[in-house]
Amino acid sequence: MLISAEAVKKVEPLIKKSINDDKSGRSKYLGKIVIGTVKGDVHDIGKNLVATILGASGFEVINIGVDIPAIEFVNVIKKESPDIVALSALLSVGVVEMGKVINEIINNGLREKVKVIIGGPCVDDESSKKIGADDYGLSAVDAVKIAKKVLS
Between 56 and 101, whose confidence is greater? 101
Question: How sure is the predictor about 17, in pLDDT bands with cuts at 50, 70 and 90?
Answer: low
pTM here is: 0.86
What mean pLDDT do residues 28-33 have? Answer: 94
**Count of domains observed in the chain:** 1
Give the domain range for residue 10.
2-151
Instruction: Give the whole-number percent of the chain exceeding pLDDT 70.
Output: 84
Between 92 and 60, whose confidence is greater? 60
DSSP labels for the chain? -HHHHHHHHHHHHHHHHHH-SSTTSPPPP-EEEEEEEBTT----HHHHHHHHHHHHTTEEEEE--SSB-HHHHHHHHHHH--SEEEEE-SSTTHHHHHHHHHHHHHHTT-GGG-EEEEESTT--HHHHHHHT-SEEESSHHHHHHHHHHHH-
30: domain CATH number?
3.40.50.280
